[in-house]
Amino acid sequence: MDKLLIHGGISLNGEIRIAGAKNSALPILAATLLTRETVQICNLPHLYDITTMLELLGCMGLEPVIDEKLNVEVNGGTIKHFNAPYELVKTMRASILVLGPLLAHFGQAQVALPGGCAIGSRPVNLHISALQKMGADIVVEDGYINATVDGRLKGAHIFMDMCTVTGTENVMMAATLADGQTIIENAAREPEVVDLANCLIAMGAEITGQGTDTIVINGKTSLHGCSYSVMPDRIETGTYLIAAAATRGRIKVKDTRPDILEAVLSKLEEAGADLRIGDTWIELDMHGKRPKAVSLRTAPYPAFPTDMQAQFTALNAIAEGTGSITETVFENRFMHVHEMNRMGASMHVEGNTVIVNGVTSLKGAPVMATDLRASASLIIAGLVSENETVVDRIYHIDRGYECIEEKLQLLGARIRRVPS
Ligand code: UD1
């Protein structure tokens, strides 16, 4: 298992390009199951989770083709099996996204029930109950969700008890081929939901209200192929900006979308970052100054994203002053706190809040990545530490960050991957 070796203490400086959004690309790949025609997907990020989703489509009999420009073409017409096995679902919970499309298009799906994960129990009850309301017959047994429907799913009025991103996406995809109108209330407003909706519209779906909490879908009898380019990754964008702020650096991130990062950018300004913003780029300059601690509370979009919480905890670790970070989306997302304390940080957890008293410097240590975003926060902590940090279990980071050590090297960081 590879590790990352970081020699900290260098201010990041330079320019990088942001990859396509993982959390858009995954549902868009699942959406290819809604048509028998070819869907071409451009700007896919090179990530382990994307490989897992392509593998999942492959084990159903699809043959994704990667062209010379690294775009992927998928044709749902060659499907032979309708199941998502546990071996793949356990490595990537987003595999649940094939449930809605399989059921809506082929009338059957067998998807392993995702278990809990490091950041909480993460049930999929809302996905299941919404599809049942649309007429699906669903039995959960032996660790599998077995779903069938006689004929087409029926449009339904669905109120989501909690704001769920993949839940909204699963139901929205299923509704595109349902008989009649589906209304999803308390829908997730995340930009990735909007990106998926735009791809579905390009495939012939009739959807309105994406980006608001009420999405209306008028079902069609079939969808067609299209070519679609995945939007830029807002979490990758934010992670590099925070890394630059924590190291008192100056960077420009290109090919991104500042308009979907408002909550994060305003916290960076509060931390003392000087920002310049264009249509597709963001420049951050700390003018060599130590960041100021910020307090924040995570919540569904457009509020502050839970996927950026750990990275801001790392920034607060070495910031001036005390900041409190409250997590309201997942129940157990503070595993990085203990690792950062081992590096000399001063933070403690009280319920769903972590109180961080900024220290002037951290000390490198061997640390363990526990989940995707926690790994990113440990890398940031390593970049601001004196001497060497070794981050173990970095397969987590490869799930969601494209060539992270190469991009950080481009920004001047001393970081390298070593096989263990
Ligand atoms: C997605 C993102 C993930 C992000 C999260 C919250 C993808 C592939 N992943 O995950 O990066 O951290 O949104 O922004 O897009 N819940 C239920 N029952 C359900 C579904 C969800 O109780 O049936 C709860 C969850 O336990 C959690 C909350 O709802 O507390 C939000 O989770 P959800 O939005 O569903 O997260 P994901 O879609 O899995």
Counted residue by residue, the chain has a size of 420
pLDDT in the model for residue 181: 98
Distance 123 CA to ligand 1 centre (A): 8
What distance in Å separates the CA atoms of residue 325 and residue 262, rounded to the nearest whole number?
18
Distance 285 CA to ligand 1 centre (A): 33
Distance 346 CA to ligand 1 centre (A): 29
Strand partners, 274: 285
Q: Is the pLDDT of residue 384 over 90?
A: yes
Q: Is the pLDDT of residue 52 over 90?
A: yes
**Which is the closest atom of ligand 1 to the Cα of 305?**
14
- Which among 376, 377, 389, 383 has a CA at the least distance from the CA of 413? 383
Can you tell me the mean pLDDT for 262-275?
98
Measured from the Cβ of residue 108, the count of other Cβ atoms closer than 10 Å reads 15
* 368 conformational bin, left if phi > 0, alpha if psi -120 to 50, beta if neither: beta
What pLDDT band is residue 120 in, cutting at 50, 70 and 90?
A: low
DSSP labels, 343-356: TT-EEEEETTEEEE
pLDDT in the model for residue 61: 96
pLDDT in the model for residue 419: 86
Q: What is the pLDDT of residues 198-216, one digit of tens each?
A: 999 999 999 999 999 999 9
Helix, strand, coil percentages for the chain (3-state, nearest 5): 35, 30, 35
Catalytic positions, please? 117
Write out the two tokens for 62.
Answer: 């699809």
Can you tell me the mean pLDDT for 26-39?
98
pTM to 2 decimals? 0.97
Q: Is the pLDDT of residue 115 over 70?
A: no
Asked if 212 contacts 257 with a C-beta cutoff of 8 angstroms, the reply is: no
301 lines ligand 1 (CB under 6 A): no
Q: Is the pLDDT of residue 68 over 90?
A: no
